[in-house]
Amino acid sequence: MPRIDEKIWEEVFRLYNTDWSPEQISGALKLRSVFVSHETIYRGIYAEIKAGRLDRKHLRWERKKRRRRLPKRRPRDASKTSIEDRPNLSSRVEFGHWEGDTVELVRGQSHLVTMIERKTRFLLVTQVPNKKSETVRNAILWLFQHFPQAVKSITLDNGVEFADHKTIANRLNV
């Protein structure tokens, strides 16, 4: 507990037990020419609560322990080809290798599905109402419906919107 006269602490705890906030207690002490910051009062109150001499119920804003949230891990899809096992396409020599992604617009109300050809940087875009895998799958198939022979490979990220990648691969023969 911070070093303050014992009589002042008695007054602080008396006011605290009558539901005064540390800010109010600090202000009341200033009127008596005793300057103690509300942060110091908070530290003293928390120390007394931890020692079991004060009750938490008088705190207006009771600090609750936050539960640590761990991300939910999805099992790895064994049918996906690892990035290390794919051919090196960084040279951009051959036409037909595409990268796909989604872009969120207006806080989740609408989305874009984008497909970019790596060599020519040719961009195909369509708007979809949501990021459900069925919607994204149909959008990608619709983008390539007129030239499926121009697709040799498609690289997608691990987002849930691309969960139906097997159907896309089978229908486009990639």
Evaluate whether residue 121 is within a structural domain: yes
Evaluate whether residue 119 is within a structural domain: yes
Dump pLDDT digits (tens) for 70-123. 777 767 677 777 767 766 666 778 888 899 999 998 777 889 999 999 889 999
Predicted pLDDT of residue 102: 93
Predicted pLDDT of residue 125: 95
Q: Is 167 exposed, middle or buried (0-12, 13-18, 19+ CB in 10 A)?
A: middle
52 and 100 assigned to the same domain: no
Predicted pLDDT of residue 17: 87
Evaluate whether residue 82 is within a structural domain: no
Evaluate whether residue 78 is within a structural domain: no
Evaluate whether residue 67 is within a structural domain: no
Average pLDDT, the chain: 84
Predicted pLDDT of residue 143: 93
Phi-psi sector, 33: left (phi>0), alpha (psi -120 to 50), beta: left
Percent of the chain residues past pLDDT 70, beyond the cut: 87
Dump pLDDT digits (tens) for 52-76. 888 888 777 655 556 677 777 767 6
* CA 46-49-50 angle, 5° bins: 85
Asked if residues 40 and 23 have their Cβ atoms less than 8 Å apart, the reply is no
Dump pLDDT digits (tens) for 30-59. 888 888 988 898 888 888 888 888 888 877
Dump pLDDT digits (tens) for 125-136. 999 999 899 999
Give the range of the structural domain holding residue 44, as residue numbers without chain letter.
6-58
Dump pLDDT digits (tens) for 139-162. 999 999 988 888 998 888 888 888
156 and 110 assigned to the same domain: yes
151 and 92 assigned to the same domain: yes
Predicted confidence band of residue 4 (pLDDT cuts 50, 70, 90): confident
pTM (2 d.p.): 0.55
Predicted pLDDT of residue 1: 57
